[in-house]
């Protein structure tokens, strides 16, 4: 199983590299950077959706599974990319988005055309309810993940359709066997036959819903639409569907990594990833990336609402899948296209020293964890969130915009509430991951032609933070990532497969240091991370007992067993 010790590099096509100067990244741009990608020491790439789409949710609203969004290129460009990757020994994964399609998909067009359409039952249609005053109401009070009702009224046939995400993303009806078979043929086998190595499976636990669609209790009295995710995640038939899907994948020996929001208990997660279940090979748990987000609404929260002890606890939760008693497999990641940059969330941007130190320390943390490792484009050079000085109009994501509008409406435009919303977006929005990749110090960070207008503005810091500059500097974040990945590869039993344990030391260190062990075959790692801006007592002498070999350090300075510098991190082999 190639993926067990692998590192997978995630690419967001719109923002990676523009090869033709239209301001939008494309397949040609990805193809042109395969040398760079390979130089990182990764084993595979995962492309976010590049299918044809009206882009209401950046390609997670697919209008044709068997075509490529024309600004990105063509099916033949993907075929060429697949062969180019394989010729270098790189694997390639695509994104599988089959909870919903775009409302412009031919299936939905046909489904919505009449009550008797052959594809009517391919989506989830329900009649209206009427209240005491005879006013038309949605079938229930569920809120969509992007805010507002999860149902949209469709005039043509006088019914509502369900959409867990944006209005333009109607949910497919997985209860219908014919629909499932069409999904397998069009979204999966069409691409598997072209030789891809697997899929990242979008919202892998939402296909089965409670089909009685009950109302949920009111938890937010400001609005009619209530948090209902627990009713559409982990539904009654989800395991049956995933097993059926795995049957298709098996024919091609393809791997899967499923996105698993809102599945918290280890037993439930194991239901998806335990090898004997034969469903998904691994999943992305949300424990770590959800830390510090609002409980009811993701952005209803102050910046940095987390503690180090919580972070440790959540890391441990994802690592439990690897503790030897379970037959599951885990993933390690801190970023993806839905998350703000990890340095801005968990590290420090106060000055250039602390930025670099904390970017490397976070790299050390995530790359020392067990499971398959995922690195998101730009993470390897320590890209950070868009500056606080940028106006809210720079935020383009549907989730960001909907949230800001929601606050505007419910607060009657209160400037204090709007300022808080903007602060939260600056801290957590999905937009931050979607800024152009920073290649060099030329205009727009070298992402597109100098005279082009990139679809999102390049970060102000690109003259300092870019690939070209870091590639020449042996002490850069980029050089550190390369070293880190090489060392991880050298000792797979402790890095990718070791058994994780927190090392609890002095009580009052708990919110300052993160120390953990990884036990492998007759040896172990000791990872010591200082999460503060000040020096800390390390006390390593006692912990190592003269036996440890320093594998990695992020300081480039001599090692002191007594003191750790700000955001210093070390990995010892014991
Ligand atoms: O995300 C689904 C998801 O579970 C959400 O948690 C998402 O991260 C959301 O932004 C959190 O508030 C997947 C994709 O990764 C995301 O880009 C898509 O917008 C979404 O599905 C719909 O396809
Ligand atoms: Ca382009």
d(CA 462, CA 345): 19
Q: Which CATH superfamily is domain 106-162 in?
A: Oligo-1,6-glucosidase; Domain 2 (3.90.400.10)
237: closest CA among 196, 190, 288, 177? Answer: 177
Give the rounded distance of the alpha carbon of 186 from its chain centre. 24
**Which structure tokens are listed for 123?**
């989506």
Residue tagged 């997985």 (tokens): 174
**CA–centroid distance, residue 388 to ligand 2 (Å):** 28
**In angstroms, what CA-CA distances link 225 with 138, 143, 148, 232?**
10, 5, 6, 15
Q: What is the pLDDT of residue 509?
A: 73
**CA–centroid distance, residue 152 to ligand 2 (Å):** 34
Class of domain 498-573: mainly beta
Judge contact between 272 and 242, C-beta under 8 A: yes
- Percent composition of the chain: helix, strand, coil (DSSP 3-state, to 5): 35, 15, 50
Ligand 1 binding residues, C-beta < 6 A: 57, 60, 97, 145, 165, 202-203, 259, 261, 298, 337-338, 399, 430
Q: Which residues contact 571 (CB under 8 A, 6 or more apart)?
A: 364, 368, 487, 525, 526, 527, 528, 550, 551, 552, 553
**In angstroms, what CA-CA distances link 71 with 13, 58, 75, 194, 479?**
10, 12, 12, 21, 33
Q: Which residues contact 474 (CB under 8 A, 6 or more apart)?
A: none
Determine whether 259 is an active site residue: yes
Q: What is the pLDDT of residue 539?
A: 85
Q: What is the pLDDT of residue 508?
A: 65
Closest ligand 1 atom number to CA of residue 61: 23
Fold of 2-102+177-471: TIM Barrel (3.20.20)
First to last CA, the chain: 28
Name the residue at shortest CA distance from atom 16 of ligand 1: 338
HSE-CB at 414 with a 13 A cutoff on CA atoms is 9
Judge contact between 139 and 160, C-beta under 8 A: yes
**In angstroms, what CA-CA distances link 570 with 159, 320, 341?**
60, 23, 22
Choose the catalytic residue: 202, 380, 431, 509: 202
Name the residue at shortest CA distance from atom 14 of ligand 1: 202
d(CA 165, CA 478): 35
d(CA 425, CA 432): 9
Closest ligand 1 atom number to CA of residue 100: 23
Q: What is the pLDDT of residue 292?
A: 98
d(CA 454, CA 435): 9
- CATH 3.20.20.80 placement within the chain: 2-102+177-471
d(CA 332, CA 367): 7
**In angstroms, what CA-CA distances link 406 with 35, 62, 197, 225, 498?**
44, 26, 41, 12, 45
Question: Which ligand has its closest atom nearest to the C-alpha of 205?
Answer: 1
d(CA 430, CA 394): 12
Determine whether 202 is an active site residue: yes
pLDDT digits (tens, 9 = 90+) for 486-509: 999 999 999 999 999 999 775 667
Q: Which residues contact 331 (CB under 8 A, 6 or more apart)?
A: 257, 282, 283, 284, 285, 318, 371, 372, 373, 374
Q: What is the pLDDT of residue 506?
A: 59
- CATH 3.90.400.10 placement within the chain: 106-162
Task: Enumerate residue ranges in the chain where pLDDT < 70.
Answer: 506-508
- CATH 2.60.40.1180 placement within the chain: 498-573
**CA–centroid distance, residue 338 to ligand 1 (Å):** 6
* Ion ligand 2 neighbours, Cβ < 5 Å: 18, 20, 22, 24, 26
**CA–centroid distance, residue 18 to ligand 2 (Å):** 4
Q: Which residues contact 134 (CB under 8 A, 6 or more apart)?
A: none
DSSP secondary structure letters along 305-354:
---HHHHHHHHHHHHGGGSSSS----EE-S--TTS--HHHHHS--SSHHH
**CA–centroid distance, residue 461 to ligand 2 (Å):** 23
Q: 50: phi > 0 → left, psi -120 to 50 → alpha, else beta; which? A: alpha
Backbone φ, ψ for residue 530 (5° rounding): -95, 110
Q: Which residues contact 521 (CB under 8 A, 6 or more apart)?
A: 493
Residue tagged 């941007």 (tokens): 349
């Amino acid at each position: 199983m190639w993926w067990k010790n692998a590192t997978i590099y995630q690419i967001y096509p719109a923002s990676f590299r523009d090869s033709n100067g239209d301001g939008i990244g494309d397949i040609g741009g990805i193809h042109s950077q395969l040398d760079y990608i390979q130089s990182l020491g990764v084993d595979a790439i995962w492309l976010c959706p590049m299918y044809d789409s009206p882009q209401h949710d950046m390609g997670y609203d697919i209008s044709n599974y068997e075509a490529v969004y024309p600004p990105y290129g063509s099916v033949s460009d993907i075929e060429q990319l697949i062969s180019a990757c394989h010729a270098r020994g790189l694997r390639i994964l695509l994104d599988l988005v089959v909870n919903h399609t775009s409302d412009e998909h031919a299936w939905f067009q046909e489904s919505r055309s009449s009550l008797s359409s052959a594809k009517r039952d391919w989506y989830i249609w329900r009649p209206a309810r009427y209240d005491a005053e005879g006013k038309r109401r949605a079938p229930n009070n569920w809120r969509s993940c992007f805010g507002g009702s999860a149902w949209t009224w469709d005039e043509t046939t006088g019914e509502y359709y369900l959409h867990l995400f944006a209005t333009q993303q109607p949910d497919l009806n997985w209860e219908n066997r014919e629909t499932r078979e069409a999904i397998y043929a069009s979204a999966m086998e069409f691409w598997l036959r072209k030789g891809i190595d697997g899929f990242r499976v979008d919202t892998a636990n939402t296909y089965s819903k409670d089909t009685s669609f009950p109302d949920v209790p009111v938890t937010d009295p400001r609005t009619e639409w209530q948090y209902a995710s627990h009713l559409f995640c982990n539904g009654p038939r989800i395991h049956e569907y995933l097993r059926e899907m795995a049957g298709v994948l098996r024919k091609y020996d393809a791997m899967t990594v499923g996105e698993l929001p809102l599945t918290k208990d280890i037993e439930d997660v194991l239901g998806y990833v335990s090898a004997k279940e034969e469903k998904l090979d691994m999943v992305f748990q949300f424990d770590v990336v959800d830390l510090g987000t609002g409980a009811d609404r993701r952005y209803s929260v102050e910046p940095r609402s987390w503690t180090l002890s919580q972070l440790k606890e959540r890391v441990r939760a994802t690592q439990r899948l690897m503790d030897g008693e379970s037959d599951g497999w885990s993933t390690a990641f801190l970023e993806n296209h839905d998350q703000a940059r990890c340095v801005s969330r968990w590290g420090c941007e106060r000055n250039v020293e602390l930025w670099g130190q904390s970017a490397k320390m976070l790299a050390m943390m995530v790359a020392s964890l067990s499971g398959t490792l995922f690195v998101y484009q730009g993470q390897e050079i320590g890209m950070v969130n868009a500056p606080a000085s940028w106006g809210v109009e720079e935020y383009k994501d549907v989730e960001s915009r909907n949230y800001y509008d929601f606050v505007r409406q419910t607060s009657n435009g209160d400037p204090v509430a709007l300022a808080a919303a903007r602060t939260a977006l600056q801290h957590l929005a999905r937009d931050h991951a979607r800024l152009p990749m920073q290649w060099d110090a030329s205009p727009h960070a070298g992402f597109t032609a100098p005279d082009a207008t990139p679809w999102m503005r390049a970060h102000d810091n690109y003259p300092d933070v870019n690939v070209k500059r870091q590639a020449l500097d042996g002490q850069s974040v980029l050089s550190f990532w390369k070293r880190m990945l090489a060392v991880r590869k050298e000792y797979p039993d402790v890095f990718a497969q070791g058994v994780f344990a927190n090392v609890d030391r002095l009580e009052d260190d708990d919110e300052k240091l993160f120390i953990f062990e990884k036990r492998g075959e007759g040896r172990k790692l000791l990872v010591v991370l200082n999460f503060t801006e000040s020096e800390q007592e390390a006390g390593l002498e006692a912990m190592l007992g003269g036996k440890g070999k320093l594998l990695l350090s992020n300081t480039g300075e001599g090692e002191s067993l007594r003191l750790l510098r700000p955001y210093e991190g070390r990995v010892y082999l014991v």
